Amino acid sequence: MKIKQCALLIGAVVAANANAQSVQIYGLIDSGVMYTSNVGGKKLLSIDPDSQAPDLFGFVGSEDLGAGTKAIFKLEGQFNMNNGAMINGLFGHTAYVGLQDEKWGTLTAGNQIDFMFDSLVPERWGPAFPIINAMNLRQSSFELNSPRIPGNGSFDFDRLLGSAVPNSIKYKSPTYNGFSFGGLYSFGGVAGNFGSNSAQSFGVNYRNGGFSLNGAYTYIKYPELNNGNDGIRNYGVGASWMLGAAEFAALYTNTANTQNGARIGVYEADVTYALSTPLHAHFSYQYQKGNHVLNEQHVNQETLSVVYLLSKRTSLFSTLAFQQSSGGPAWILMAAGPASGGRQAAFSLGLIHSF
């Protein structure tokens, strides 16, 4: 059955290629090893869990409709490189179809990533974005009780790792004198209660030469929280500035559970530096602070990443992260589990290839 499904998919792509102006197959694969100093009180050596980038494959296409308008689509799946299993279904990472116009912008519908990622990650970091390792982003052990990842209520709590919102309509404007914006709405699908289980997201960006200023807001309601009438609310503001071979950046994000009042603020500062044409380094410091509902837990983390470009498509990567937590166990994003106490270190080394 799986062979038959693959054959049908390939046939569909070939047919699309014959009729559409442009169809491209692409992908991103990384793997390596990871050492974690303390997972439940024990040291752990494991295969790297895609810390530099998610393992992706997809199809993207467009058809020129004339007068500066195109029909566009994207089908993108994420898989586990270590066992070959799909994550969230065949095209669970991103799937949309829509229209793109040079004057009026882009309107799409499907399963789409919100603006906490779009505006605060690739738009803010710009050319430094490929150097950033996921261990630089958020986990920790806050009892946020987010239903997004069952059993792990603090995973990527400010959504900077990039996560799709289903049943959504998304608009992205063209860039006007360095300024751009966008919005997303996800339908809850509950009869008689338009807002239940729904989601909203907005982003705004300004870029002038090497300077970028960005903001984003996302609020997603979950059926597990007050029957779909409460959810997890995120907002953030950040900036970056390129100065010669260096890029300096700063970020603030705020995450709240609107049902129980739990709230986390994150302050981050980082610098990316091109040591040579193929060698790039990124260092960041972040401070995370929970409110009284989270027992005033606070976290410090330092992360250093180095990427060496072997070619335009292949790179070696290495990341070293240290986290210190007070009021709860330390837990670095992508580590297999929380530490037995307030300190955890993780080191990854691997290879990443795009096609």
**Considering the domain boundaries, does residue 214 fall inside one?**
yes
Position 269 in a domain: yes
Structure tokens at 248: 């300096």
pTM of model > 0.85: yes
The answer to whether the CB of 12 falls within 8 A of the CB of 319 is no
Token look-up 């050596």 returns 45
- Tens digits of per-residue pLDDT, 196-223? 899 999 999 999 999 999 999 999 999 9
Given a contact cutoff of 8 angstroms between Cβ atoms, the answer to whether 199 and 184 are in contact is yes
**pLDDT of the residue at 61:** 97
Range of the domain at 317: 31-52+114-354
Is residue 98 one of the residues assigned to a domain? no
pLDDT for 291 equals 97
How many domains does the structure of the chain reveal? 1
8-21 confidence digits (pLDDT tens): 444 544 444 445 47
Instruction: Tell whether 308 is covered by a domain.
Output: yes
Q: Is the pLDDT of residue 233 over 60?
A: yes
In a domain, 72, yes or no: no
Is residue 79 in some structural domain? no
The whole-number pLDDT of residue 322 equals 98
| Cα–Cα distance, 126 to 116 (Å, whole number) | 15
Question: In this structure, what CATH number is given to the domain that contains residue 336?
Answer: 2.40.160.10
Residue 78 lies in a domain: no
CA angle 184, 187, 193 (to 5 degrees): 135
Q: Report pLDDT for 18.
A: 45
The answer to whether position 197 is within a domain reads yes
Check pLDDT > 60 for residue 84: yes
Tell me: the pLDDT tens digits for 92-133?
A: 999 999 999 999 999 999 999 999 999 999 999 999 999 999
Give the mean pLDDT of 131-140: 94
Q: Is residue 151 left, alpha or beta, with left meaning phi > 0 and alpha meaning psi from -120 to 50?
A: left
Which residue, among 132, 110, 127, has the nearest Cα to 54 in the 3D structure?
Answer: 132
What mean pLDDT comes out for the span 168-195? 93
**Rounded distance between C-alpha atoms, residue 303 and residue 151, angstroms:** 26
CA distance 179 to 107: 18
Residue 98, pLDDT score: 98
User: Tell me, what amino acid is at 112?
Assistant: Q
103 CB-contact burial (10 Å; exposed 0-12 / middle 13-18 / buried 19+): exposed
pLDDT band at 269 (very low <50, low <70, confident <90, very high): very high
Mean pLDDT of 126-154: 91
